[in-house]
């Protein structure tokens, strides 16, 4: 899906029934290969129009889940079956060739021993949602088990928002 493609909530939910067979994990194994330009989707209930950069406060940080595009994932999958009025934010997996989730970093610590905080990404299929992935904070490539400085989280959240686009507007938007 292209960031500027217009989707209505009706077309999204009617084209993807709650029991979409492609969502069922079945005997499919996790796939930890993410291309830098693979789209990742998560739902939100804030304001904004399709194509807008979301507000940083809409970005969850650091631990949250997304659905992936690979293997047939679609923005509608994060809305079904219980969230038809929410919107969907899309960002790319990112990496060396494409700005996105894995290319968003912040340096923490003092200058004599700097450390890099970033996002990690892992495909963790659920029985009824093969596209489910975990996003988590990491320092120097190691998953964080505790929360780090709030200011650093705000910085990472802002940088991730700048790489994201709203692909389905929330119908709960009061603006």
- Per-domain residue ranges of the chain: 9-168
Task: List phi, psi (to 5°) of 90.
Answer: -120, 135
Residue 110 banded pLDDT, cuts 50, 70, 90: confident
Kindly state the average pLDDT of the residues 108-136.
92
CA gap 165, 58 in Å, rounded: 11
Question: What pTM value is reported for the model?
Answer: 0.84
For residue range 26-63, what is the model confidence (pLDDT) as tens digits? 999 999 999 999 999 999 988 899 999 999 888 876 78
- Tokens representing residue 172 in the block: 């709960």
User: According to DSSP H, which parts of the chain are helical?
Assistant: 9-15, 150-162
């Amino acid at each position: 899906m292209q960031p500027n493609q217009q989707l209505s909530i009706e077309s999204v939910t009617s084209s993807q029934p709650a029991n979409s067979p492609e969502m069922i994990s079945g005997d499919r194994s996790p796939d930890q290969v993410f291309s830098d330009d693979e789209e990742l989707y998560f739902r939100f209930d804030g304001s904004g129009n399709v194509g807008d950069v979301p507000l940083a406060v809409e970005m969850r940080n650091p631990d949250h889940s997304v659905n992936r595009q690979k293997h047939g994932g679609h923005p509608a999958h994060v809305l079904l079956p219980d969230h038809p009025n929410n919107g969907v934010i899309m960002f790319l997996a990112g990496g060396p060739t494409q700005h996105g989730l894995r290319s968003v970093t912040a340096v923490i610590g003092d200058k004599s021993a700097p450390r890099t905080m970033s996002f990690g990404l892992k495909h963790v299929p659920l029985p009824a949602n093969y596209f489910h992935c975990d996003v988590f904070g990491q320092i120097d490539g190691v998953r964080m088990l505790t929360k780090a400085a709030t200011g650093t989280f705000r910085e990472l959240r802002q940088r991730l928002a700048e790489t994201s686009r709203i692909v389905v507007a929330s119908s709960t938007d009061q603006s």
